[in-house]
Amino acid sequence: MNSKKFVKRISLCVLSCLLVLPATVSANGVQITPDHFPFIKSLPTPEVQVNLMDSESDLTETSLSINLNRMEYNTLAVPSKILDKLKDRLQSKALYAQEKIEVSIMLKYDAVVTKEEFIEREWEIFNGNITDLNGFGGYSFFAALTADEIEQLVHLEEIASLSTPDDVVSVYGEPDEHQSEVYLNGATEMTGIKKGRSDYGVTGNRDGKASYSKNDSVIAVIDTGIDGGHIDLSGGKILGWKDFVNTSSTTAYDDLGHGTHVASIAAGTGAGDPGVETGVAPGAALVGIKVCSSNTNCSTQNILNAMDWVIANKDTYGIDIINMSIGSSGSTNASFCNKVSSAANNGILTVVAAGNTSGGSDYGSLNLFAKCSDVLSVANVADPYEGGWYLNPSSNRGTGSVGPTLAAPGTSIRAAKANSTSEYITYSGTSMASPMIAGLAALMLQASNGSLNYDFKIEDYGMSGYDKVYGNGLILGHQTIKAASGSSTGSFDNYRNHIRAQTNIAASNINLYNIKVNSTDAYFANTLIINNENGADLDLFIWKPGVEPIQNGQLRLDLAIQSSAGDLPQETISFKPTATGNYTIGVLAYDSATYALDWAGQISIP
């Protein structure tokens, strides 16, 4: 971020005027009616108070420290083998003595018997009750059981967990083929990661050797698999492989594509397009764990089994970091949180996606796996090449004091396409933001010579301090690597300024701000975050230089050149200005609310 500070302030004044609902003359002189003006909603009163507001420039660098060196982590209780989905089903349905419910039985991955041998051994329970021998994969099958039979299974050593056949989550991230001009390096460039790699000589190759080994930074990707045949991920980069869907497979593959894309963001070499598609930590090694049979069928039981496998194989493969770009909204999963804490106790950092909601997210949509206290969860922002900085509206949000940990680029990220050898594909989602942070953690390990005190440098966005949308704020990649290396030299500037405001607004008010655009080369990003969780409605308007929003006592919404009037707790306007000068930004309130405004671009305060 540009370090220049602007201290000039706009004086505050208050006046009243009428809101003219168009049947006014628009900018081109054509009469328009309310039916042709999509931004008109019902206001509580026919009058709107206009407030001219202050804003301030910001480069508030804060630190987020996750220390896996500490002597004692969370005390771990022995988790129940009956997972929450099955518990809820049993509690909501009081079973008669012989009444049955369909159950997913998951054996431990290291059980000394196969599931066929287990079923034969426990034939008194399973005789005539098997409903799907395939279940969620090699360690799972489904059966219709009574409450007493479920209780008998709980006490068997081979059982990893019991749940329901619908206890599944999905991958996060959707293909975005509209973007084709800006590549993975655009995100690493704008965060300062790319320059940080160069300035401090880090790639994730911790042992300095040409071949990959457990002595490098190693990232375990729990996902749909990894295509080891893609040129960005070949050459021995994948040190280990475990398939919970097709347990007989011994070679890494990805029949769905999501995990390959995620892995190449974290650690792809970019060999298929040198200098353009390079991942965050191209010298890091990978371990692939497949838990999904389809993009919408990633078994929670497979995930828990996979976490156990990663912890057990930490020393075998040198696993330092887990990335998991899958999940679902819902209540905190205590069993998963237990595994995350166990991983932390073993020096493994777990990074997960905050989650996405197609069409835009509301409060309370945060990924259930992101709610664990020891997890690092990542929201999705668009970088300046994609019109940012702004929060992607699909990025899931928390509630109350719970939200993602931080934010990183995940919008229109182009990375390896599975089963193509050397092609690339663009995805958007927190699935893409999460491996940005997992890869950065791999660089930090090398820069710090293996320190498990991860000290992330962050710029505050949204509400001041930690919030339920951006978390602690936007990652500062260069500053993070610099701090990990202990260096006092080196700097980074992405030539974007950040200006912010935060205030309360009453219904039937409009707050107006002036922002000076200094260049037409960069996008001008405006992001309004409504902090209220009650559905409070605010809209965002922008008037170009030389156009006054208030004319002859009337508020001229029809003269705004840009507007955003949705129903979600966020309004975003990002565009390339056609002229420099002072733009007026208006926040119109239909309800009383608290909000934060962030502007990014080549801008300043007049």
Question: What is the C-alpha to C-alpha distance for residues 267 and 204, in angstroms, rounded to an integer?
Answer: 8
∠212-336-426 over CA atoms, to 5°? 55
**Contact call for residues 43 and 19 (beta carbons, < 8 A):** yes
Residue positions annotated with a catalytic role: 223, 258, 431
**E strand or H helix at 289:** strand 285-290
∠240-243-244 over CA atoms, to 5°? 135
Report the first-to-last Cα separation within the chain, whole angstroms: 19
- Name which of 596, 590, 589, 591 is nearest 503 in CA terms: 596
Residues with Cβ within 8 Å of residue 209, at least 6 apart in sequence:
215
Q: 102: which strand partners?
A: 144
∠68-72-73 over CA atoms, to 5°? 65
Question: What is the C-alpha to C-alpha distance for residues 502 and 467, in angstroms, rounded to an integer?
Answer: 13
Question: What is the C-alpha to C-alpha distance for residues 501 and 334, in angstroms, rounded to an integer?
Answer: 37
Give backbone dihedrals phi and psi of 416, rounded to 5 degrees, phi first.
-60, 135
**Contact call for residues 183 and 416 (beta carbons, < 8 A):** no
Question: What is the C-alpha to C-alpha distance for residues 515 and 523, in angstroms, rounded to an integer?
Answer: 13
Residues with Cβ within 8 Å of residue 576, at least 6 apart in sequence:
520, 522, 523, 524
Give backbone dihedrals phi and psi of 166, rounded to 5 degrees, phi first.
-100, 15
Q: 47: which strand partners?
A: 18
Question: What is the C-alpha to C-alpha distance for residues 229 and 235, in angstroms, rounded to an integer?
Answer: 9
Instruction: Tell me which residue has tokens 């719970």.
Output: 402
CB neighbour class for 477 (10 Å; exposed up to 12, middle 13-18, buried from 19): buried
